[in-house]
């Protein structure tokens, strides 16, 4: 997983799994990657600074263009 703090500043975090299959970065453990990501949207992912994950919004026109292109591909 990588986390972009600013446009030119990226931090990398290794997501690990325990023997029960739960995902973790530090001490909190999660049954899915989605739950891990949701947790770190409101709790700091960093031990030294207050840094939370966020989801940048994808413009609808970009999403529409991608979906439109995908529907016209011959695979």
C-alpha to C-alpha distances, 53 to 36, 62, 70, nearest whole angstrom? 10, 22, 29
Longest dimension (CA), the chain: 49
Can you give the pLDDT at residue 48?
82
pTM (2 d.p.): 0.60
pLDDT, one tens digit per residue, over 9-47 is 667 788 999 999 999 998 999 999 999 988 988 888 877
3 state DSSP class of 11: strand
C-alpha to C-alpha distances, 34 to 24, 41, 46, nearest whole angstrom? 12, 11, 18
Q: Would you say 57 and 7 are in contact if contact means Cβ atoms under 8 Å apart? A: no
Residue 8 has pLDDT above 70, yes or no: no
What average pLDDT does this structure show over 64-69? 52
């Amino acid at each position: 997983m990588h986390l972009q703090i600013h446009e030119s500043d990226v931090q990398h975090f290794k997501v690990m799994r325990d023997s029960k299959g739960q995902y973790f970065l530090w001490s909190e453990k999660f049954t899915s990657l989605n739950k891990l990501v949701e947790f770190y949207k409101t709790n700091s992912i960093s031990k030294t600074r207050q840094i939370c994950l966020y989801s940048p919004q994808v413009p609808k026109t970009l999403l529409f263009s991608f979906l439109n292109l995908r529907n016209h591909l011959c695979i």
